[in-house]
Amino acid sequence: MNTYDWIDSVLICLYRITGNALLDYYLGTFLLAFIAVVVGELTISLVFRINKDHLDRLNAKVEKMSRLSQNALCQGDKESYKACNKEGNEAFGRLFFNKFGFAAASLWPIFLALAWMQERFNQIGLPLPWVKWEINYFVFFMLCYIAARISFGRLKRKLPYFRAVHELLLTYEQKSLRSEAMTNEKGASAPPAKPPP
């Protein structure tokens, strides 16, 4: 038995729970999607922990340049505004591509699940009520994935490892939003400035 056959024998058990073919397809696909969500969360948390310092540095540079360009705007200093904007855009470009690691870490299980479903359920179409359309394995899996993501989002605050990761991510997001709010608060209380020439 090779690796694929072993994985296949494990995953197909998800589709043999109730004994009713249609129910098993719904339930099995949802469970498969749920497993994809959990595994993705595990790997994204790993990438986050390992790359956090590097991303903090990139974020700090982006935010600093953003604040400086806003300052320059309000002081009417066109040249400084352009210079800070250019530096900021370059820093943003690096951050943008670095975040790809997060997306990859979160989403890779989806594609392996789809690869397996393509082998097993490629010919199956679920008929939709009142219309003559059918949805294939891809569409149905994506719908289940969205549902699984929402469900797991509520559950993870109660699960030991994921609770810690959730709190870490929450602190990280609040720190980013706080630095944004500080910039905006200063803006709200200051007198109006001249626009750049």
In the complex with other proteins, the residue whose CB is nearer, 93 or 127, is 93
CB 140 within 8 Å of CB 118: no
Segment interacting with other proteins (CB under 8 A) among 10-18, 22-30, 91-99, 155-163: 91-99
Tokens 């989806």, residue located? 110
Return the amino acid letter for 139: V
For the CB of residue 84, give the shortest distance to other proteins in the complex, in Å. Answer: 5
CB 33 within 8 Å of CB 113: yes
Q: To 10 degrees, what angle do helices 78-98 and 21-75 make?
A: 160
Return the amino acid letter for 144: C
CB 192 within 8 Å of CB 73: no
Q: Which residues 26-55 are close enough to bind other proteins by CB under 8 A?
A: 43, 47, 50-51, 54
Tokens 């009417």, residue located? 76
Q: Which of 19, 129, 160, 191 binds other proteins (CB under 8 A)?
A: 191
Our finding on whether 103 is near other proteins (CB under 8 A) is yes
Q: Which of 110, 144, 148, 165 binds other proteins (CB under 8 A)?
A: 110
Q: Give the per-residue contact string, 133-172, with other proteins (x = CB under 8 A; - = no).
A: ----------------------------------------
Our finding on whether 56 is near other proteins (CB under 8 A) is no
Our finding on whether 195 is near other proteins (CB under 8 A) is yes
Secondary structure (3-state) at 134: strand
Q: Which residues 59-78 are close enough to bind other proteins by CB under 8 A?
A: 62, 64-66, 68-75, 77
Our finding on whether 187 is near other proteins (CB under 8 A) is yes
CB 65 within 8 Å of CB 88: yes
Q: How far is residue 83 CA from its own chain's centroid?
A: 32
Our finding on whether 107 is near other proteins (CB under 8 A) is yes
Our finding on whether 128 is near other proteins (CB under 8 A) is no
Secondary structure (3-state) at 126: strand
For the CB of residue 162, give the shortest distance to other proteins in the complex, in Å. Answer: 18
